Structure 1
Amino acid sequence: MKLINLKNLKVLVGLLLGASTAIAQTAPEQMDLYLLIGQSNMAGRGTTDAASQPGSRKIWAINRQNEWKIAADPLHQDKPTVVGVGPGLTFAQEILKKHPERPIGLIPCAVGGSGIDDWLPGAKHEQTGIYAYDEMLARVKEAQKRGTIKGIIWHQGESDSSPQKKDAYAEKLADFFKRLRRDTHTENVPLVVGTLGNFYLAKNPDAAFINAVITDYAKKNKLVSLASAAGLTHKGDDTHFDTASARELGKRYAEALQRQAP
């Protein structure tokens, strides 16, 4: 019997392992897609833990390299040194409970620190260098090869909570969603907008105005509902939800969307 030398054996094992990994990371051909957009509290800044990597083959996420991976926190790549647990993964887990037969594909596109003006076509977010809107559209187009967008969740407004910016926020928010729906062909897709945390309002009174705009938008527009952040807590910085609160917010997003979706 001819023996395989050690070097060739290592090569063979490596090839087999690589092949099994590739198979393990092949997303389903058809998924229910959900777009996650906004700024840092959508991207997530909570501390990761054992629950951050559930390993469910029913929940996938597409990254900035347009690769589908089994979903785990952090979902976003906007600020790699600080990104952590956000509402997106728990949101998906809650949606899956209602439709366990339908795999989920998440499209994480939030950018920490982004104001509403950073979500204009061609706009570059200076903190990260990300062209938020343009990159989002490209990622959505790629994701739609494997499914249909069934919902959009949005959490943003902290960066516009100032005397100089707040008065224009309502018009800019409405224009943004009109453009988003047109460009992503989601005119009939449920949208959930989230309010800013009470702790942020205590820190910045102008945030109350932004919350009023967000709430009013949800009330006055079809296929739009509200996820309240009331009662949630921050991670010690008066700005970002802690891990437990980010997950609770994800549940609230799912509940709000399910009130609209069949």
Structure 2
Amino acid sequence: MILMNFKPLKILLGLLAGTTAAFGQTAPEQMDLYLLIGQSNMAGRGMTDAASQPNSSKIWAINRHNEWKMAADPLHEDKPAVVGAGPGLTFAQEMLQKQPGRSIGLIPCAVGGSGIDDWQPGAKHEQTGIYAYDEMLARVKEAQKRGTIKGIIWHQGESDSSPEKKGAYAAKLADFFKRLRRDTHTDNVPVVVGTLGDFYVAKNPDAAVINQIIADYAKGNKLVYLASAAGLVHKGDDTHFDTRSARELGHRYAEAFLKKEE
């Protein structure tokens, strides 16, 4: 009689089952979708850490290959060598906390270094080669197969903080959102716009004009709300939020978004 040791087999089967479960998860059929757009401080440049991978089956993100993955930082793929923790993941976690019965799908489309002119149809962002607006529309269309856009969050303006560009920013921002709402069928969807960091204004005083334009746009337009970056700090480069501040900004985006329901 031959005695067989089944213990290694059981271990192998257990590992295979765990692997199958991990890879077998798919995004829910219906999610609340949130569009994340702007430049590097929306994409995120903070250091990633353990909190960057929450492994929540309730929060998903669509990548540039139109694949849904459980959301983790970095969410964006604009500059793979430097992208990191941004506000988007914390924003989603805050929204989930307030609406635990829902599943969230993030549509990350920020492009570091992009100016408002780079968010025009057909415009190519020279630093990255990304057609920011066109790629965003294509990704939104794919994402909408699994849900409805419930909100848009925007952080951009550093690249337009110059004497030559600041004067035209207000009109260009208004035109951008008018086009965006039309092209994504989001006329009745809340938008939250964020101000630039105090540290950036200190380095570049023209950024104060951009912040005022952003604040005025939120104040003067229906379904537009403001997330202030006041008091947040940079990661040592006078330009990008550190991890803690990026997450706090995400919290402020969610707070501004949820105020509409009060």
Q: Which residue of 2 aligns with 1:196?
A: 196
Give the conservation status (yes or no) of the 8 Å contact 1:190–1:261.
no
Structure-2 change in CA distance of 1:93 and 1:83 (3 Å): same
Q: Secondary structure at the match of 2:105?
A: strand
Gap regions ≥5 residues in structure 2:
5-12
Q: Secondary structure at the match of 2:121?
A: coil
Mapped pair 1:42 → 2:42: yes
Q: Secondary structure at the match of 1:196?
A: coil
Give the conservation status (yes or no) of the 8 Å contact 1:53–1:71.
yes
Which one-letter code corresponds to 1:242 in the other structure?
D
**Alpha-carbon deviation of 1:111?**
0.2
Mapped pair 1:143 → 2:170: no
Mapped pair 1:167 → 2:136: no
Task: Note the 1:7-156 alignment, pairs <5 A.
Answer: 19-24=20-25, 26-156=26-156
CA distance in 2, matches of 1:168, 1:106: 30
**Alpha-carbon deviation of 1:20?**
3.4
Which one-letter code corresponds to 2:80 in the other structure?
P
Q: Secondary structure at the match of 2:179?
A: helix
Task: Provide the aligned C-alpha RMSD in A.
Answer: 1.8
Which one-letter code corresponds to 2:116 in the other structure?
I
Q: Which residue of 2 aligns with 1:251?
A: 251
**Alpha-carbon deviation of 1:14?**
9.8
CA distance in 1, matches of 2:119, 2:17: 43
Q: Secondary structure at the match of 2:152?
A: strand
CA distance in 2, matches of 1:260, 1:135: 29
**Alpha-carbon deviation of 1:261?**
4.3
CA distance in 2, matches of 1:116, 1:261: 30
Gap regions ≥5 residues in structure 1:
4-11
CA distance in 1, matches of 2:151, 2:142: 17
Deviations 1:114-164 (A, max 9, x none): 000000000000000000000000000000000000000000000000011
Q: Secondary structure at the match of 2:225?
A: strand
Q: Secondary structure at the match of 2:222?
A: coil
Q: Which residue of 1 aligns with 2:10?
A: none
Q: Secondary structure at the match of 2:153?
A: strand
**Alpha-carbon deviation of 1:97?**
0.7
Q: Give the number of equivalent residue pairs.
A: 253
**Alpha-carbon deviation of 1:21?**
3.9
Give the conservation status (yes or no) of the 8 Å contact 1:46–1:84.
yes
Question: Quick one: percent identity of the two aligned structures?
Answer: 81
Q: Which residue of 2 aligns with 1:8?
A: none
CA distance in 2, matches of 1:27, 1:18: 17
Q: Which residue of 2 aligns with 1:208?
A: 208
CA distance in 2, matches of 1:170, 1:151: 21
**Alpha-carbon deviation of 1:240?**
0.1
CA distance in 2, matches of 1:19, 1:65: 22
Kindly report structure 1 stretches of 4+ aligned residues shifted beyond 3 Å: 12-22
Deviations 1:17-66 (A, max 9, x none): 76434312x00000000000000000000000110001110000000000
Which one-letter code corresponds to 1:100 in the other structure?
P
**Alpha-carbon deviation of 1:260?**
1.6
CA distance in 1, matches of 2:136, 2:155: 15
CA distance in 2, matches of 1:210, 1:169: 7
Which one-letter code corresponds to 1:168 in the other structure?
A
Q: Which residue of 1 aligns with 2:8?
A: none
Structure-2 change in CA distance of 1:129 and 1:15 (3 Å): farther
CA distance in 2, matches of 1:232, 1:18: 40
Q: Secondary structure at the match of 1:148?
A: strand
What TM-score, normalized to structure 1? 0.93
Which one-letter code corresponds to 2:57 in the other structure?
R
